[in-house]
């Protein structure tokens, strides 16, 4: 039997995907965990940021910094478009509008008419050029055993984790400041905060923007080593992010990061174990049936976490009360 | 407003009694399910000729324009990307499905020599159609007219933006799209009323409602596609098992969660988790491909410029009957009044002797049953797959939001609007963004009327 | 009840005889033609009212009279169907709630809104205005707001001490009792250094011993030049500290005047308890207690009224024909 999958699962700790989901889940925590905005459109923010980056860098040949800026600006604009109409409405409206908006983005970029710009269903390849161009790491292979990386992989991983660390510090500082106090107040009762003279609407908007920008940065880490695929940013990505955030702790800074690591390691492990069992005919399911299993697990995990441990691994039970 | 009904809900007991019978009957048939699923898991290709494993396909349909009769035995040559070139012959219903291995532009050329009646010819030949990923049954329809391709139909400047495609009379097109929109709207309404009632009585925005729809559709598939029962059996089983599913869900998940006093947003997240788990469990059981419900035989029926399949007509009738029934139940019966009272004010309803839990249970059963029925009908109307319900969920939500959350009547109107939007929008935008258009309109209407069309403003402060 | 009773009451507040809508010598708030309908029912219909500056005004009236709704309208939490009101020379109609608060008109809620997931001290700090650290970019640099935060904390602790909550400063507000939450909400409102405090039933649920010191506290506010407008059902408290009393019934202002005069006014007593009886409102300290020992028909009447009221609150349906 082949037990390499255990090592591969451990490798998930460093994977760009883990980094990307950690960042995006952190952004989601700013919206949902700290401010109480039911943002079901985080995948939409990722898509918008991703296209902002990929179109400007691949199709327009902008320099790296400008493309990153474009991704951020795209996310900010998307936040305004979503926020202006909905942040005054009840929270379940925000949920439905954000999820709908994310789907609108996905449908739209896939339109054949937009093929020359968005690449249609195939998405956009080759976002890594500008990124790799400034890679200071000498070419070679780094790592041990089957966990080896070439210089470009390593470069993404390093930049990615540094970004995560900076973002975590940023969120931590925000949340311990008077700004954070206001958004935490809003999460619980926005009228109380409004009565004290705070512009609740604007704070919600800021939170949505921060969440969106973190998602945009996340997607860059995700597409640089691979490519931009519109269908990677459907609703289940948002739901994965919710699972990750709640798993680690939605009202904590380190929770989403820890959540992402655990999430991907566990998924990778379960895939590995399942493959092992299937290929050795230890359980009566086919290869085709193996695919959906991970989603079933995620769905069940999400239900169990929100019911039995809403504060997640790192959170404080008393703060884990998510709106009405 | 409704006076609070008396606490002696005798009809309630009757309904529960009926339910018990249904469950007992259902339990027997349920025993057949795992076996059916097991045969499925072997994944032999699905039996029907139109079955397809490709991710996308187009549908050729050759008809005579004058009497809408189907023309069999016509040869159509199809060419497409990556050197795709193949000939297809239409079946008895004038149709044949074309699996497109890769998405892209396909050219459909009707071989006029294969036409039995040489006086007729296709209005447009060849047709160029863009098949996008996942498209199910893009229309490659040929209408045969005297004189053929040379005689283009008057007003043939169709505004269809769906990537080329066949050109028919604009009025016909609009009529057909409108008819389709109404049918689709009615189908959505069946599911939407359940969403709305559940929201009204429990406050839950049920993201797993799409899976209730799929559940019904799959039940129908098991009965008619695998066990070869007739269509009425498929419909009834979708309805009955859907109701049972709703009952079990409430019993096993939602009631205990209400007992725990879980907040509404966490509840919504639970429904998301349930939706993911169920949807992929369906995929696990039935595989990732499209499933085919055997469509009833019979020619399309022309109603003015509109061509309807028999199943469309059956769907419309069933939908209208059920919607009227729901309206009657809500407005005229005690349970209905109690339901509205609970939706209006749970505490007050409880205080005036209504058994709130029981009402909620009934709502779940009813919502599940209607979703199940809607599922079977949607399976007939468009396509059936493990994610059929999920693919219409957002449209259902849009309908409910548009109508005003928690109002059953609003849900119906919202559904019709969405159904029409989804269909008529294809006149001006590509088909694959038709859903996007509907969602966009929902957002815009919310901007103007946050409470929806029929909703009431929330109490503030 | 000692010291509070002999606090100096203001006189000469109005121009002319006290009557509904009477002009004040120095009004801080003037409202005109403010109406609010819920479905078919008119909750508030105030033709003209002026709130005198620098004194304590009580707004009383039976349940469902529209007092809270009127508060909501004035503070921007609800939108009126018609009307406008001028606060300190500024027309506030259409001004959003947070701006109203920034202008110095701060309210508390009848159903307390203590933020239970923040600590008591954090609740208090949240009240402070013009905080540098509340701006996004300044928030990122602690040095910019550390000093201010310290000052705010000191002020918060002082206030908490006065409200006997200082020992709870670091507890989650969730751990406070109902009465303590009322106190916290009031203290938090004071953190904004308002000019006009609007308290919606500040004493409901606060124990009598503490009530006494709170009354003193409210009188202190007056002595620092603040204007207080409060809704209260405890007639003893109204009589003790209010300089001016406004009576609302069925959305309208039905009487105005100095406490003693108003509370002996038979029209007011009628508005409160229905016609035909001779209770002195000054003895009314709760809503039910007083009714219990009165005659039966009155008990029935009030119980009905309360039932009708509770039947209405929380419902989102149209409401017609309420008490
Ligand atoms: N959002 C709302 N929707 C419908 N009706 C409302 C709403 N808010 C208040 N009402 C109705 O308006 C009337 C006035 O209510 P309000 O809360 O202002 O009374 P109140 O004077 O504060 O009473 P209490 O002394 O009991 O606090 C009541 O009949 C109430 O039912
Ligand atoms: Mg009140």
More confident residue, B129 or B168: B129
Identify the pLDDT of residue B12. 41
C320 to chain A, closest Cα gap in Å: 25
Tens digits of residue pLDDT in B242-272: 999 999 999 999 999 999 888 889 999 999 9
Using most ligand atoms within 8 A of CB, pick from C34, C42, C69 the residue to mutate for ligand 1: C69
Tell me the C-alpha distance between A112 and B56, whole Å. Answer: 15
Chain A residues lying within 8 Å of C140, measured CB to CB: 170, 173-174, 177
Ligand 1 — pocket residues by CB below 6 A?
Answer: B 459; C 38, 43, 61, 63-69, 110, 309, 312-313, 319, 322
- Does residue B50 register a pLDDT over 80? no
CA-based nearest residue in chain C for residue B351: C311
Residue minimizing CA distance to atom 8 of ligand 1? C69
Work out the average pLDDT over B182-211: 92
* d(CA C110, ligand 2 centre) in Å: 6
What pairs with residue C52 in β-bridges?
A: C27
- The answer to whether the CB atoms of B344 and C72 lie below 8 A apart is no
Q: Higher model confidence: residue B60 or residue A241?
A: A241
Chains that touch A (3 or more CB pairs under 8 A): B, C
For chain C, say whether A196 makes contact (Cβ under 8 Å). Answer: yes
Q: HEC profile for chain B? A: CCCCCCCCCHHHHHHHHHHHHHHHHHHHHHCHHHHHHHHHHCCCCCCCCCCCCCCEEEEEEEEECCCCCECCCCEEEEEECCCEEEEEECCCCCEEEEEECCCEEEEEEECHHHCCCCCEEECCCCEEEEECCCCEEEEEEEEEEECHHHCCCCCCCCCCCCCECCCCCHHHHHHHHHHHHHHHHHHHHHHHHHHHHHHHHHCCCCCCHHHHHHHHHHHHHHHHHHCCCCHHHHHHHHHHHHHHHHHHHHHHHHHHHHHHCCCHHHHHHHHHHHHHHHHHHHHHHHCCCCECCCCCCCCCEEECCEEECHHHHHHHHHHHHHHHHHHHHHHHCHHHHHHHHHHHCHHHHHHCCCCHHHHHHHHHHHHHHHHHHHHHHHHHHCCECCCHHHHHHHHHHHHHHHHCCCCHHHHHHHHHHHHHHHHHHHHCCCHHHHHHHHHHHHHHHHHHCCCCCCCCCCCCC
Helix segments in chain C, DSSP class H: 67-74, 97-102, 120-127, 136-139, 142-162, 178-190, 208-223, 235-241, 259-264, 266-273, 289-292, 296-312
In a domain, A324, yes or no: no
Quick check: A307 and B440 CB within 8 A? no
Residue C278: pLDDT over 70 = no
The whole-number pLDDT of residue B237 equals 95
Residue-level length of chain B: 461
The region, left, alpha or beta by phi > 0 then psi within -120 to 50, assigned to residue A252 is: beta
Q: Which of B169-173, B279-283, C178-182 has the highest mean pLDDT?
A: B279-283
pLDDT band, residue C38 (cuts 50/70/90): confident
- Closest residue in A to C124 (Cα) is A196
How is chain B split into domains, by residue range?
A: 56-168, 175-459
Judge whether A12 lies within some domain: yes
- A136 φ, ψ (degrees, to nearest 5): -85, -10
Q: CATH classification of C1-114+183-275 is 3.40.50.300, yes or no?
A: yes
Average model confidence (pLDDT) across chain B: 78
Query: Minimal CA–CA distance to C104: which of C82, C125, C79, C75?
Result: C75
Query: Contact B1/C317, CB-based, under 8 Å?
Result: yes
Chain C nearest CA to B461, separation (Å): 6
Q: Say if residues B183 and B312 touch (Cβ distance below 8 Å).
A: yes
- Among C106, C122, C149, the residue with its CB nearest the CB of A195 is C106
Closest residue by CA, ligand 1 atom 9 = C69
Judge residue C16's burial from the number of C-beta atoms within 10 Å of its C-beta, 0-12 exposed, 13-18 middle, 19 or more buried: exposed
Chain C residues with beta carbon closer than 8 angstroms to that of B452: none
Chains in contact with C via at least 3 Cβ–Cβ pairs below 8 Å: A, B
- The answer to whether the Cβ–Cβ distance between C78 and B460 falls below 8 Å is yes
Q: CA–CA separation, A261 vs A18, rounded Å? A: 6
Select from C68, C78, C315 the Cβ nearest to the Cβ of B344.
Answer: C315
Which residues are CB-neighbours of A133 under 8 A, at least 6 positions away? A64
Residue C112 CA neighbour count, 13 Å, CB half? 24
CA C49, CA C70: separation in Å to the nearest integer? 11
What's the CATH class of domain B56-168?
mainly beta
* Tens of pLDDT, residues C48-97: 999 999 999 999 988 888 999 999 999 999 999 999 999 988 999 889 99
In chain B, whose CA is at the least distance from the CA of C70?
A: B461
| Residues of chain A under the 50 pLDDT cut | 324
Q: Max CA-CA distance within chain C?
A: 67
- pLDDT at C154 > cutoff 80: yes
Cα pseudo-dihedral C68, C69, C71, C76, rounded to 10: 140
Residue of B nearest to C318 (CA): B1
C309: exposed, middle or buried (Cβ count in 10 Å: 0-12, 13-18, 19+): middle
Query: Which CATH number characterizes residue A142's domain?
Result: 1.10.3470
Name the band, by pLDDT with cuts 50, 70 and 90, for residue B39. very low
Reduce the DSSP state of residue C94 to 3 states and report it. Answer: coil
A197 contacts chain C (CB < 8 A): yes
C321: contact with B, CB 8 A cutoff: no
- pLDDT value of residue B72: 77
- pLDDT at A303 (0 to 100): 95
CA-based nearest residue to C116, from C171, C179, C165? C171
Please name which of A273, A10, A7, A268 lies closest in space to residue A146, comparing C-alpha atoms: A7
A204 lies in a domain?
yes
Range with the lowest mean pLDDT among A92-96, B252-256, B387-391, C29-33? Answer: A92-96
With the most atoms of ligand 1 within 8 angstroms of its CB, the residue from C34, C43, C65, C322 to mutate is C43
Q: Alpha-carbon distance B29 to C227, whole Å?
A: 75
Of residues C26 and B365, the one with the higher pLDDT is B365
Binary contact (B273, A95; C-beta < 8 A) = no
Residue C104's pLDDT band (cuts 50, 70, 90):
very high
What CA–CA distance (Å, rounded) separates A288 from B284? 8
Domain that holds residue A264: 4-319
Instruction: Label residue B112 by pLDDT band (50, 70, 90).
Output: confident
Which of C97, C102, C103, C146 to probe the A interface (max A CBs under 10 A)?
Answer: C97
Q: What is the pLDDT of residue A221?
A: 94
pLDDT of residue C153: 95
Half-sphere CA count of B226, side-chain side, radius 13 A? 23
Going by DSSP bridges, is the β-strand pair C41-52/C27-38 parallel, antiparallel, or unpaired?
antiparallel
Q: Within an 8 Å CB–CB cutoff, is residue A178 touching chain C?
A: yes
| Residue in C35, C62, C67 to alter for ligand 1 test, most ligand atoms within 8 A of Cβ | C67
Question: Does C191 score more than 90 pLDDT?
Answer: yes
Q: Give the C-alpha separation, B289 to B102, whole Å.
A: 16
State the Cα–Cα distance between residues A220 and A211, nearest whole angstrom: 15
Return d(Cα B363, Cα B258) in angstroms, integer: 15
Is the pTM higher than 0.90? The answer reads no
Interstrand relation of B104-110 and B136-146 (parallel, antiparallel or unpaired): unpaired
Residue C311: per-residue pLDDT: 52
Looking at all shown ligands, the one closest to residue B345's CA atom is 1
Tell me how far apart the alpha carbons of residues B313 and B310 are, in angstroms, rounded to a whole number.
5
**Ligand with the closest atom to the CA of C249:** 1
C218 three-class SS: helix
Residues A322, C248: Cα–Cα separation, whole Å? 38
- C-alpha closest to that of C127 among C220, C28, C197, C214: C197
Tell me what pLDDT residue A306 has.
92
Mutation target for A interface from C110, C113, C148: give the one with most A CBs within 10 A. C113
Protein residue closest via CA to atom 14 of ligand 1: C66
- Residue with the bigger pLDDT between B76 and C122: it is C122
C311 interfacial to chain B (CB closer than 8 Å): yes
B428-449: pLDDT as tens digits: 888 778 888 888 888 887 777 7
Q: Are A198 and C134 an interchain contact pair (Cβ–Cβ within 8 Å)? A: yes
Residue ID of nearest Cα to ligand 1 atom 16? C66
CA of C70 to the centre of ligand 1 (A): 9
Of B264, B394, B440, the CB nearest to A324: B264
* CA-proximal residue: ligand 1, atom 11 (nearest): C43
pLDDT band at C304 (very low <50, low <70, confident <90, very high): low
Distance from CA of B445 to the nearest CA of C (A): 21
pLDDT value of position A1: 61
> Mind telling me how many Å the CA of A308 is from chain B's nearest CA?
10
Which of B16-30, C111-125, C291-305 reaches the highest mean pLDDT?
C111-125
Q: What is the mean pLDDT of residues C182-187?
A: 91
CA distances from B427 to B62, B108, B142, B438 (A): 22, 21, 19, 13
Return the CATH number of B175-459, one of 3.40.50, 1.10.3470, 2.40.128, 2.30.30. 1.10.3470
Can you tell me whether residue C37 is helix, strand or coil? Answer: strand
Which of C287, C289, C282, C290 has the alpha carbon at shortest distance from C310?
C287
Q: How many CB pairs under 8 A join A and C?
A: 98
How many angstroms separate the CA atoms of C297 and A178, rounded? 55
B217 CA distance to ligand 1 centroid (A)?
48
pLDDT band for position B163 (50/70/90)? Answer: very low
Q: Which of C67, C75, C314 to mutate to test the interface with B (most CBs of B within 10 A)?
A: C314
**How near does any CA of chain A get to the CA of B38, in Å?**
10
Residues of B in contact with A113 (CB under 8 A): 163, 430
Domain ranges of chain C: 1-114+183-275, 116-175, 284-322
- Closest to A177 (Cα-Cα) out of C147, C138, C130, C153: C138
Q: Which ligand is nearest to the CA of C108?
A: 2
Distance (angstroms) between ligand 1 centre and the Cα of C63 equals 8
């Amino acid at each position: 039997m082949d037990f390499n999958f255990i090592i591969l699962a451990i490798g998930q700790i460093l994977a760009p995907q883990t980094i990307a989901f950690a960042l995006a889940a952190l952004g989601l925590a700013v919206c949902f965990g700290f401010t109480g905005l039911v943002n079901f459109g985080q995948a939409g923010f990722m898509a918008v940021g991703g296209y902002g980056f990929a179109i400007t860098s691949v199709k327009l040949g902008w320099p790296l910094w400008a493309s990153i800026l474009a991704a951020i600006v795209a996310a900010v604009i998307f936040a305004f478009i979503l926020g202006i109409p909905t942040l005054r409405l009840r929270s379940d409206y925000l949920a439905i509008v954000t999820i709908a908006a994310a789907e609108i983005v996905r449908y739209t970029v896939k339109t054949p008419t937009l093929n020359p710009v968005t690449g249609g269903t195939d998405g956009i390849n080759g976002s890594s050029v500008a990124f790799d161009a400034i890679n200071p790491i000498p070419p070679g292979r780094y790592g041990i055993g089957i966990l080896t990386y070439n210089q470009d992989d390593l470069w993404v991983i390093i930049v990615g984790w540094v970004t995560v660390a900076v973002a975590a510090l940023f969120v931590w500082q925000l949340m311990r400041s008077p700004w954070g106090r206001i958004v935490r107040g809003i999460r619980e009762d926005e009228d109380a905060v409004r009565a004290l003279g705070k512009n609740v609407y604007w704070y919600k908007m800021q939170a949505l923007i921060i969440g969106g920008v973190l998602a945009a940065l996340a997607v860059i880490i995700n597409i640089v080593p691979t490519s931009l695929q519109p269908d990677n940013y459907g609703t289940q990505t948002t739901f994965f992010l919710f699972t990750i955030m709640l798993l680690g702790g939605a009202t904590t800074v380190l929770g989403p990061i820890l959540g992402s690591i655990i999430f991907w390691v566990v998924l990778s492990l379960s895939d590995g174990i399942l493959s092992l069992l299937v290929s050795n005919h230890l359980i009566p399911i086919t290869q085709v049936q193996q695919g959906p299993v991970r989603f079933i697990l995620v769905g069940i995990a999400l239900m169990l976490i929100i019911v039995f441990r809403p504060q997640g691994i790192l959170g404080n039970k008393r703060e884990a009360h998510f709106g009405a | 407003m409704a006076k609070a009904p008396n606490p002696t809900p005798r009809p309630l007991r009757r309904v529960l009694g009926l339910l018990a019978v249904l469950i007992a009957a259902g339990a027997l048939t349920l025993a057949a399910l795992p076996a059916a699923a097991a045969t499925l898991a072997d994944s032999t290709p699905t039996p029907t000729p139109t079955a397809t494993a490709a991710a996308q396909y187009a549908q050729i349909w050759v008809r005579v324009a004058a009497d809408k009769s189907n023309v069999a035995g016509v040869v159509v040559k199809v060419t497409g990307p990556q050197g795709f070139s193949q000939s297809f012959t239409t079946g008895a219903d004038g149709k044949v499905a074309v699996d497109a291995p890769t998405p892209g532009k396909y050219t459909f050329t009707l071989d006029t020599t294969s036409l039995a009646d040489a006086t007729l010819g296709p209005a447009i030949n060849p047709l160029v159609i863009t098949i996008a990923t996942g498209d199910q049954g893009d229309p490659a329809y040929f209408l045969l007219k005297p004189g053929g391709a040379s005689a283009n139909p008057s007003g043939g400047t169709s505004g269809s933006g769906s990537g080329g495609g066949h050109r028919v009379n604009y009025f016909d097109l609009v009529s057909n799209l409108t008819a389709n929109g109404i049918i689709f709207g009615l189908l959505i309404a069946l599911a939407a009323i359940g969403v709305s009632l559940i929201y009204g009585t429990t406050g839950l925005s049920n993201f797993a409602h799409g899976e209730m729809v799929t559940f019904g559709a799959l039940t129908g598939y098991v009965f008619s596609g695998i066990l070869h029962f007739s269509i009425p059996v498929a419909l009834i089983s979708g309805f009955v098992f859907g109701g049972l599913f709703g009952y079990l869900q409430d019993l096993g998940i939602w009631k205990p969660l209400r007992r725990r006093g879980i907040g509404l947003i966490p509840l919504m997240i639970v429904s998301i988790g349930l939706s993911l788990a169920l949807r992929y469990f369906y995929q696990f059981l039935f595989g990732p491909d499209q499933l085919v419900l055997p469509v009833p035989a019979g020619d399309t029926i022309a109603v003015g410029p509109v061509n309807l399949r028999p199943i469309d007509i059956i769907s419309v009738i069933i939908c209208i009957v059920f919607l009227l029934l729901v309206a009657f139940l809500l407005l005229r019966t005690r349970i209905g009044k109690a339901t509205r009272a609970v939706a209006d004010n749970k505490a007050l309803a409880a205080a005036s002797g209504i058994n709130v839990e029981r009402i909620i249970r009934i709502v779940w059963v009813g919502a599940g049953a209607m979703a199940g029925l809607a599922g079977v009908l949607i399976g007939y109307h468009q396509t059936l797959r493990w994610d059929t319900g999920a693919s219409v969920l957002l449209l259902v939500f849009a309908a409910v939001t548009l109508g005003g959350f928690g109002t059953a009547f609003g849900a119906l109107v919202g559904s019709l609007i969405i159904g029409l939007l989804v269909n008529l929008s294809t006149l001006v935008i590509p088909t694959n963004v038709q859903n996007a258009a509907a969602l966009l309109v929902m957002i815009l209407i919310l901007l103007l009327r946050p409470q929806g069309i029929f909703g009431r403003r929330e109490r503030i402060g | 009840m000692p010291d509070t009773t002999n606090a100096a009451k203001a006189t000469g507040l109005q121009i002319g005889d006290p009557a509904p809508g009477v002009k004040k010598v120095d009004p801080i708030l003037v409202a005109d033609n403010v109406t609010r309908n819920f479905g078919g029912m008119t909750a508030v219909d105030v033709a003209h009212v002026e709130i005198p500056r620098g004194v304590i005004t009580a707004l009383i009236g039976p349940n469902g009279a529209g007092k809270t709704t009127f508060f909501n309208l004035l503070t921007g939490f609800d939108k009126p169907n018609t009307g406008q009101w001028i606060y300190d020379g500024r027309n506030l109609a259409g001004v959003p709630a947070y701006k109203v608060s920034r202008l110095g008109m701060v309210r508390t809620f009848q159903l307390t809104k203590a933020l239970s997931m923040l600590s008591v001290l954090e609740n208090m700090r949240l009240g402070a205005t013009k905080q540098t650290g509340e701006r996004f970019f300044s928030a990122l640099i602690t040095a910019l707001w550390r000093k201010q935060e310290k000052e705010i904390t000191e002020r918060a602790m002082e206030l908490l001490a006065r409200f006997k909550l200082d020992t709870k400063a670091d507890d989650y507000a969730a751990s406070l009792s109902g009465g303590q939450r009322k106190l916290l909400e009031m203290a938090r409102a004071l953190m904004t250094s308002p000019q006009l405090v609007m308290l919606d039933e500040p004493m409901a649920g606060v124990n009598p011993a503490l009530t006494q010191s709170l009354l003193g506290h409210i009188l202190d506010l007056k002595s620092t030049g603040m204007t207080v407008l409060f809704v209260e059902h405890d007639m003893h408290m109204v009589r003790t500290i209010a300089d001016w009393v406004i009576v609302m019934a069925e959305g309208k202002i039905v009487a105005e005047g100095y406490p003693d005069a108003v509370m002996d006014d038979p029209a007011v007593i009628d508005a409160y308890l229905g016609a035909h009886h001779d209770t002195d409102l000054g003895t009314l300290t709760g809503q039910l207690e007083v009714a219990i020992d009165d005659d039966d028909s009155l008990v029935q009447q009030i119980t009905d009224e309360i039932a009708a009221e509770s039947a209405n609150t929380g419902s989102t349906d149209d409401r017609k024909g309420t008490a």
